[in-house]
Structure 1
């Protein structure tokens, strides 16, 4: 009986199939020389029949006999429809080309303007690329609720964001080993202590996608070993639109405070007057008060996006896009901070509180003009103003300052304002079928101000507060100004050759040149309080210092102000500490891409760079002033090989040589004082040389899925590290600490659809996992440091891992996405983990300081309620782990820092006109 039923079912199936015909063909990209367009959707209007093109653009459908309307679609492209007639038992061929246009991205915040926003398109680009690359687009950023570029990059494999900053570590390599660019042109740093700009300054509102190049290619400047992060700015093409959003955010720690105490006289929007006083040694004339003010710790944000295209003449088109936004955040953390010696004795032992308020104002304008399909130019203008103010309170034991039974109290107020202006002019010209010219130029400026950093120290006796001083710098006001401007240019010419039987070119030769010319001007003034004996013996209110440190007290002689050069009786006392720097890099390169066979492709490149770095300074460490320069000529070969095992599997190999430059602040003989220690530059630093090797396998099961595994290794000659030098004050400096070091590891990435509940509309459950496991090792040679520098070092260990390098880094997420009738729901749960990593190297029998591992859990929900209205909710850092740092001394591990960040909750509304 069962056999009869089975035979009947087979006959019915065969009968139904006999009524069908076959539709097959190829989908191509009209804007890319008719290259195959993989993963395009081919569907039949009014039915559930549909499929996607494969990686070669081919598709095939079995359809019932009759007349059908075939729809060809791809995000960022015009949908095309073709009417056909299917005859039963016959096969019909239908090829179709698609051209790009504007469309709307699924979700509620991001307005999609080209194909590169979509995860499937970026995976296709990764699949086709001759080189190893990794991208993250605005669709994925929206799905994961990412609001800035630093957090976005940290979602990719092997990348770690340093807590409390926009600095990233890639494969265990920190700021000095990475580089940052925008649309292929470099952008300057906003921090004199950093090589790269803080990526959290960049709102994802301006981002179309972010490219993370972990392997080197000739078009990139050679100061590279970890990754180059290239921010591709958003543009627009198509009908006009206007999108407005508003939201709020709260931090669970911040809202629980009865009072949220911040600095007085700082602008709420992040635009403050930052002038250094003209002569505070003779006239107490500080603009900002010392007292604190209470603010309601509720963050908010608002912004808009708009764009429109205009047809000019028969072929010309002008595309305009603009975005502007403002956001602020409140954070609070409390915990413990210690400074301990090798035997475990504490020199400082604090209970700490920190109130922090940050703002970000971003505006971007983009204009592109296409003369015709072959020639276009574009202009990008980006303005970012970011501010950060914090009130840090340290209460407890301070050796030599407050070592009585009740301890002491130290308060430090910081304010930093960064203003970045980027101007870019870009051009692209398809001269003919074989020649293509690309060029670009930029002029960028950045102004970073730290106006009126305030520090005051007190001893506590009988619950009363008294000023305390071991050095005149224990109570001070500090002003710092950094101005940097940079011009950069790039130009390249592509020549295609070797046309095959399919009329596609097998090879491409690229000749190019790029350059950057940087000028930096840094100055700093510190005004120290020399307190009179009477004032030091009077109890004061540390939260009402304006009552005693004021003009009347100054005029009465209760205290006086002085600088590192002396007091008001010296004419040179107001001379600020300064250093200036110039850096010129000129690079020419050649790259040859060639398809050796149907499966094997290669890119061979060579770059020649000439680098010159000049510095001059006059600081408290060198009152006479001095200058220093070095030059380097670098020959940088690189190789990329790709073996296409089949349509969905690639094997890749990449090898290269690069270098790592010391930074201006590291080479300038300048002392920078922090609450927990002092840092000074070292003019004897020199560049490292880096050798890089990657081997990668990648598999693309479906159009939006990937499984990849990468093995990598890096060998670094003469690595640079931040170290504690042998001195009575345990100052920190920089040195080439050994002859060599290496980093090696593996990376795994999986992106998979778990369930699909609908064949027509998007209704699916997806998951992603990326993880990197690595080991780093470097030699530490105290004798090398003593021979090459004007100071010594006494490392506790002969070897160590790289600072900031975590053995294990992992990101995992699971998302539910449903779309219907221009409505959508998207929910994502994501988890990130980072293992232990060295914060600073131990010396003089002190152990390494190690940041302990922790994990974070986030939830993001977004829904499109109508054609115009969207809603977003997020809950981040739900686990709220303890952030701990231990000093691993030879006899025991000592907890030297611990705090919690609190949970963050946000709500946003988006309206599309």
Structure 2
């Protein structure tokens, strides 16, 4: 009779090298008779290890180094739990049960290993066993590839590209509106009024255990889904106590040697300072910050501390905590750039032949994670995350400025400081009611405050060797204040019941649940125009305080807003409220050991209300709808190493608050406003995927996917003299089809005392997208308050914005470990995407296209001993030209281009 010998290794994040091993040895005894269990064969599941105790009961096995605790259960014996000691030597004494079981045979035993969830091999194993089509990237892989945040991590997955200069990602050619983001399965708000999703680069890898990307929909996730759902799992520490500190520095090649690295006056190094609107802003010039730029070092720095520990209590329960705090800053300069707005013939409307941008970003993150395992059947978890992110940009545009005189050279300077403060609070519970039933729940309250305090813009003309402030329009020089606050409550409840239970196996499972979300947003914006009365006074661009001051107020310039009366003003503002109530049911059925399927049905009620008062109009708009959304996922296990998968679903895509409010957003080269008549798209999705897992930690997979979208939403240029932009359902249909390939292979995989490994990784996606563009549809469907949106698309069909035909990620990693904790890990990573559409062509002008480019990174991580680690990274080594072109009648014209420069960083950490 075959008996199960189970070693349960609890989770821990103990090192960088998931594939390294530790040697565990000892003797297996019968506690009652003190006899050794000799010549006993056993195998270790999932890591392809077989071993046998010798004739003296001794065993010696190589286990993942992230294991620290084991629990042993043998039929006929009582369970025993043992912690691995520093010498990794364990003698195991098994106590027979009081009731003797006939026919107990210990000649064969099976050891089942539960690995660190963040380890690459374990995440591949989760992917292998899941019925849903998913991809994972964990802490170990992120460290190996030198990834510092969630945006960089997601961009390493197949079919994913990161939008240049932002934390936004495109999945299978579908951008922000088609994707969703969650933390531990609960939604998180966006910090940007123009985006649906939060910037993923706000989440540093210090607080991430792993990230799962669901490219196919299932009924347990929000149905506002088209490209993917990105779920971040925050760290949980379950192990011996540890404490670690780290310090680092970084430098950008464009900024380190540039005397022109200047930033806006006001913000501080740490990114926490906020500037308020003066109390008597229309009664004089009382702004707090100087207009004169300041020179600052571009050198970035980082520091972090983290620690955790778990405790086993006398009653058998377990408590643990993990806490981390980190600060990171980075200076960059975009150089050798141009920025233009052109007509259909490529002639410049605004033609800035010199564009530069000095940037300085900070990220402060704090995490506290608590868990309490009441017993193996009831577990509680609490997470609190605080993130303060700031970004400064000091942009200069030099060239012809149509607003002042198209024949004169000019200078437009815009200095922007943005601060985003996010506070996430979650409480989660997992309960095993019986061998057949489980109940899981989670609640969250998230709040975010996004501020743009005192954005400064000045427009100057250059004549006869001198600069003069432009006076043609009051808004050419202004100061702008914007504040967004958003609160969101969310709850998830799920109950599952298994049928035909046989040990850990079951024939079928029914899951039902409820999910609710309530989101409330308020945005307020004030622009104070500095109307120039004396445009004949020469100024020094770096000493504008000599012109804008209290002494010159009234005679040289005045301050005005869009809505002011008798010294008072009202801001532009909008509020938004969105409620989603959803119920779902899933039925999982195992037709055989090889074939299983999950059918799901989700019903969602959506209500969205937007209320605004802006320079364009004052009003409100509300829509509600009920959606019934089916889904199906099928997995056929061809053999132990091959899977064939299929998935199909119906989902929708909602418009965002900003897109439906009549609110004007003005940049130097773009102006956009909302469309209250915008409505949701409907998406039909299908995927077919084959997976092969040759060995532990290796995969080869090929996936084909297709999406058909009714009434797709796009950003469009309004046919008018102003060429403003808005949003509309631009056609009746659109589709995306493609193929994805993923491969991971170990070329060298030496275990033993000095483990050594050389691995190759590759993922690629080839896509084709197309959508209808219909001017009549836009005109007919956008009637509001007596007005309509007129468009004049250059083409009747085109690609989706953000879609690249080809996306490629590749990496080569070498690792080796020696005695006394010393180790080496080196990785070379390459990323490439082909041309992708940025904006649709109108008025016979061609499309605006982001030209494809590749990036090359090198990462080196070493540990001197068990305590000291040193990390080195060199990124963007190719330093390509980053270009956006407009394809016109006379050929493509660069409308935005620059070089970002190479980035180098060095860090050291010490673990106590």
Instruction: State the TM-score, normalizing by the size of structure 1.
Output: 0.91
1:787 is matched with 780
Task: Name the SS for the 1:432 alignment partner.
Answer: coil
**Mapped partners of 1:489, 1:795: distance in 2:** 43
Structure 1 position 830, deviation (Å) = 0.5
> Could you tell me whether the CA contact under 8 Å between 1:67 and 1:83 is conserved in 2?
no
Q: Distance in 1 between matches of 2:855 and 2:136?
A: 23
Return the alpha-carbon distance in structure 2 between the equivalents of residues 410 and 51 of structure 1: 77
Instruction: Sort the Cα spacing of 1:44 and 1:882 in 2 relative to 1 into closer, same or farther, 3 A.
Output: same
- Residue 834 of structure 2 corresponds to 835
Deviation at 1:283, TM superposition (A): 2.5
Match of 1:608 among 599, 603, 621: 603
Q: Whole-Å Cα distance in 2 between the matches of residues 600 and 326 of structure 1?
A: 49
Q: Shift of residue 769 of structure 1? A: 0.2
Aligned: 1:620 with 2:621? no
Give the SS at the match of 1:254.
Answer: helix
Q: Give 1:896 deviation, angstroms.
A: 1.4
Q: Which residue of 2 aligns with 1:235?
A: 236
Does the C-alpha gap of structure 1 residues 781 and 859 become closer, same or farther in structure 2, counting only changes over 3 Å?
same
Query: Structure 2 residue aligned with 1:368, among 371, 390, 395?
Result: 371
Q: Which one of the candidate residues 682, 691, 694 is aligned to 1:689?
A: 682
Distance 1:268 1:58, change over 3 A: closer
Q: CA deviation at 1:468?
A: 1.0
What is residue 761 of structure 2 aligned with on the other side? 768
TM-score by length of 2: 0.91
Match runs of 1:858-873 below 5 Å: 858-873=857-872
Could you tell me which residue of structure 2 aligns to residue 473 of structure 1?
A: 475
What does the per-residue CA deviation read over 1:414-461, in whole Å, with 9 as the maximum and x for residues that have no partner? Answer: 110000000101111111111111001000000000111111111111
Distance 1:813 1:72, change over 3 A: closer
Match of 2:574 in 1: 579
The offset of 1:96, in angstroms, is 4.6
Q: Distance in 2 between matches of 1:580 and 1:741?
A: 31
Q: CA deviation at 1:889?
A: 1.0
Counterpart of 1:521 in structure 2 is: 522
CA shift in 2, pair 1:42/1:908, >3 Å? closer
Distance 1:355 1:41, change over 3 A: closer
CA deviation string 1:297-321 (max 9, x = no partner):
1000000111112333321221111
The corresponding residue for 2:299 is 298
- Corresponding position: 1:741 with 2:734: yes
Superposition pairs of residues 319-358 of structure 1, within 5 angstroms: 319-334=320-335, 335-350=337-352, 351-358=354-361
* Aligned pairs for 1:534-549 within 5 A: 535-549=534-548
Q: CA deviation at 1:189?
A: 0.3
Q: Relative to structure 1, is the Cα distance of residues 40 and 201 closer, same or farther in structure 2, using a 3 angstrom cutoff?
A: closer
Q: Work out the CA distance in 2 between the residues paired with 1:872 and 1:185.
A: 33
SS in 2 for 1:785: helix
Contact 2:716 2:725 in 1 (8 A): yes
Q: What's the offset of the Cα at 1:278? A: 2.7
Distance in 2, Cα, partners of 1:577 & 1:53: 68
Match in the other structure for 1:381: 384
Q: 1:392 aligns with which of 392, 395, 398?
A: 395
- Say whether 1:69 aligns with 2:59: yes
Verify: 1:123 aligned to 2:124, yes or no. Answer: yes
Q: Verify the 8 A CA contact 1:70 1:82 in the aligned structure 2.
A: no
Residue in structure 1 matched with residue 890 of structure 2 by the alignment: 891
Q: CA shift at 1:207, angstroms?
A: 0.2
Structure 2 counterpart SS, 1:537:
coil
User: How many Å separate the matches in 2 of 1:802 and 1:239?
Assistant: 50
Equivalent residue, structure 2, for 1:909: 908
Q: Is 1:93 matched with 2:107?
A: yes
* CA apart distance, 1:236: 1.0
List alignment gaps of at least 5 residues for structure 1.
Answer: 1-23, 33-37, 85-90, 101-113
Structure 1 residue 28 displacement after superposition: 4.4
Q: Tell me whether 1:731 sits opposite 2:724 in the alignment.
A: yes
The alpha-carbon distance between structure 1 residues 366 and 464, as it changes in their structure 2 partners (threshold 3 A), is same
- How far 1:509 moved relative to its partner? 1.0
Residue 759 of structure 1: CA displacement?
4.6
Q: Deviations over 1:387-416 (max 9, x none)?
A: 0011100111112414335x1111001110
What displacement does 1:827 show?
0.3
RMSD of equivalent CA atoms: 2.4
Deviation of 1:93 (Å): 3.2
- CA–CA separation in structure 1 for the residues paired with 2:234 and 2:637: 31
Contact persistence 1:27–1:53 (CA under 8 A)? no
1:192 and 1:748, CA in 2 relative to 1: closer, same or farther beyond 3 A?
same
Aligned counterparts of 1:597 and 1:98: Cα–Cα separation in 2: 23
Q: Per-residue deviation at 1:897?
A: 1.6
Is 1:223–2:216 an aligned residue pair? no
Residues 550-589 of structure 1 mapped to structure 2, 5 A cutoff: 550-554=549-553, 556-566=554-564, 569-570=565-566, 573-589=568-584
Kindly state the Cα deviation for residue 29 of structure 1 after the two structures are TM-superposed: 6.3
8 Å CA contact 2:62, 2:752 repeated in 1: no
- The alpha-carbon deviation at position 570 of structure 1 amounts to 3.6
Aligned residue for 2:272, secondary structure, equals coil
- 2:656 paired with 1:701: no
Are 2:44 and 2:110, in contact at CA under 8 Å, matched by a contact in 1? no
What's the offset of the Cα at 1:487?
Answer: 0.2
User: CA separation of 1:56/1:268 partners in 2, compared to 1, >3 Å: closer, same or farther?
Assistant: closer
TM superposition shift of 1:725: 0.7
CA contact (8 A) 2:20 2:817 kept: no
Task: Structure 2 unaligned segments of length 5 or more: list them.
Answer: 11-17, 28-38, 71-81, 83-89, 94-104, 783-787
Does the C-alpha gap of structure 1 residues 620 and 27 become closer, same or farther in structure 2, counting only changes over 3 Å?
A: farther
Once residues 809 and 413 of structure 1 are traced to their aligned partners in structure 2, the CA distance between those partners, rounded to angstroms, is: 34
CA contact (8 A) 1:25 1:59 kept: no
